[in-house]
């Protein structure tokens, strides 16, 4: 388990982290989300000891020190490897820093390249690989030594849907292995699909922390999706409806004052008659993100 307690950091007069506390469990994926500049990268850099912050960071009951590095796998936000090296030279160098012998690295690299369907050989120069394949090699560098703490900063950026799914499978397999995974992404669908828990950061502070479904429900089921013959105007005039919007799927989205008015609106809309769709939901993660982090 990774535990951050009262983490604060300032660069000169600018305070970038304010009393950040959260934990990430082993065998779980924790999503760390927030707008650009919210402080996510500074949190990652603090965990990795790149920057010294006030407060404490503990992984598996120990402070993060040089010895912990071997059990950390980090995939930075932007992708870049050393273009003149071959795939093997690049992976071998980074794996050797984690204490892996060259022979083992070669064997594991071949397995990973096969698993991630990398198009290329281990003796190919990095620069000869496509952007997607370079990204996969970088992920291999992050995971090849079987780290127990994995930090992935926007791992899907620039990947096509097929490769995104492939990477999701790999991340889920790492979770199954028991690793503690912290993951950052601007695509809330990926976060919702992969993460067990969510920590939302805004202006250097934690604004949300908890299990995703529980967090969504805590906002109340104030969204109703309905497919009816009633006009948008009539729907707008219903009591407790604050906004109506027609979706591209032919349904109306009604925002209501409180979820307790759902039954009342159901009766008004259906009038005891058949309707194709009536679905009452909490706000999506994307909507919650805009509400909480978009301030």
Q: What are the residues binding other proteins (CB under 8 A)?
A: 11-12, 45, 48-52, 66, 69-70, 72-82, 84, 93-94, 96-98, 138, 141-142, 151
**Residue 80 half-sphere exposure toward CB, CA atoms < 13 A:** 2
Least Å from the CB of residue 34 to other proteins: 19
| Residue 98 CB, nearest approach to other proteins (Å) | 5
Q: Collapse the DSSP code of 167 into the 3-class scheme (helix H, G, I; strand E, B; otherwise coil) and give the result.
A: helix
Q: Which is nearer to other proteins, 138 or 184 (CB)?
A: 138
Task: Beginning with the edge strand found earlier in the chain, give each strand of the sheet holding 197-202 in spatial order.
Answer: 72-75, 149-153, 180-184, 29-34, 197-202, 205-211
Nearer to other proteins, 83 or 178 (CB): 83
- In angstroms, give the least distance from the CB of 140 to other proteins: 11
Helix (H, G, I), strand (E, B) or coil at 68: helix
15's CB contacts (< 8 A; 6+ apart) are: 8, 9, 204
Instruction: Pinpoint the alpha helices (H) of 195-284.
Output: 212-218, 232-236, 262-270
CB of 40 vs other proteins, minimal distance in Å:
14
CB nearer to other proteins: give 50 or 271: 50
Smaller CB separation from other proteins, 138 or 222: 138
Cα(138)–Cα(229) distance, integer angstroms: 53
Q: Retrieve residue 200's tokens.
A: 């939302």
SS3 call for 26: coil
CB-nearer residue toward other proteins: 138 or 190 = 138
Nearest distance from residue 20's CB to other proteins, in Å? 17
């Amino acid at each position: 388990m990774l535990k951050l307690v009262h983490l604060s950091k300032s660069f000169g007069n600018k305070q970038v982290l304010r009393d950040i506390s959260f934990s990430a469990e082993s065998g779980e994926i924790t999503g760390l989300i927030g707008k650009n500049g919210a402080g996510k990268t500074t949190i990652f850099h603090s965990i990795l000891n790149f920057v010294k912050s006030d407060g404490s960071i503990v992984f598996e009951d120990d402070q993060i020190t040089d010895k912990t590095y071997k059990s950390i796998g980090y995939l930075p936000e932007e992708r870049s490897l050393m273009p003149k090296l071959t795939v093997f030279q690049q992976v071998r160098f980074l794996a050797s820093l984690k204490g892996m012998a060259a022979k083992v690295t070669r064997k594991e690299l071949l397995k990973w390249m096969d698993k991630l369907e990398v198009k290329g050989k281990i003796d190919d120069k990095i620069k000869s690989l496509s952007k997607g394949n370079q990204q996969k090699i970088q992920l291999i560098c992050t995971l090849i030594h079987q780290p127990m703490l994995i930090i992935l900063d926007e791992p899907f950026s620039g990947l096509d849907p097929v490769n995104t799914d492939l990477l999701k499978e790999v991340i889920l397999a790492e979770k199954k292995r028991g690793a503690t995974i912290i993951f950052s992404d601007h695509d809330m669908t990926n976060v919702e699909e992969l993460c067990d828990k969510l920590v939302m950061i805004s202006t250097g502070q934690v604004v949300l922390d908890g299990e995703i479904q529980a967090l969504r429900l805590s906002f109340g089921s104030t969204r109703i999706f309905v497919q009816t013959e009633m006009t948008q105007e009539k729907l707008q005039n219903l009591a407790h409806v604050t906004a109506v919007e027609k979706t591209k799927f032919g349904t109306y989205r009604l925002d209501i004052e409180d979820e307790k008015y759902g039954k009342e609106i159901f009766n008004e809309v259906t009038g005891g008659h058949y309707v194709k769709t009536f679905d009452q939901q909490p706000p999506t993660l994307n909507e919650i993100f805009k509400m909480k982090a978009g301030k």
